[in-house]
Amino acid sequence: MTVKQSIENKISDNINADFLDVVNESHMHNVPANSETHFKVTVISDTFEGKRLLQRHRSINSLLAEELAGPVHALALHTYTKSEWLKRQAESPDSPNCLGGSKI
């Protein structure tokens, strides 16, 4: 199973998501070809209702503790309720460009 599949499975098995999108963005970074180290995850679920951003992210991070301790170097989380998602016009922010490990 790929890291991407593992992330998708753990989130979908534990959170009642109306929408889940897991994007491997490793190709945008200074890593070997076919790496699975950088991910962007968008989760839309009313289970986030009344929860602060930190609580939402902690819930996802706890599900993905194994991946975060191993192959995943960066995880961009975008967690919304259905109403928040509609206000955003069903768009999550673009990830920033990689600086390639520079100190800029």
pTM of the model as a whole: 0.88
Q: pLDDT tens digits, the chain, 104 residues: what are they?
A: 999 999 999 999 999 999 999 999 887 777 777 778 889 999 999 999 999 999 999 999 999 999 999 999 889 999 999 999 999 888 888 887 766 654 44
Cα–Cα distance for residue pair 39/53, rounded to 1 Å: 18
Q: What is the CATH code of the structural domain delimited by 3-87?
A: 3.30.300.90
pLDDT of res. 69: 97
β-pairing, 38-44 with 74-80?
Answer: parallel
pLDDT of res. 27: 76
pLDDT of res. 79: 97
pLDDT of res. 104: 42
Which value, in Å, is the radius of gyration of the alpha carbons in the chain? 14
Quickly tell me which residue has 């206000």 as its tokens: 87
Instruction: Extract the tokens encoding 6.
Output: 């593992």
Q: Which of 44, 100, 49 is nearest to 77 (CA)?
A: 44
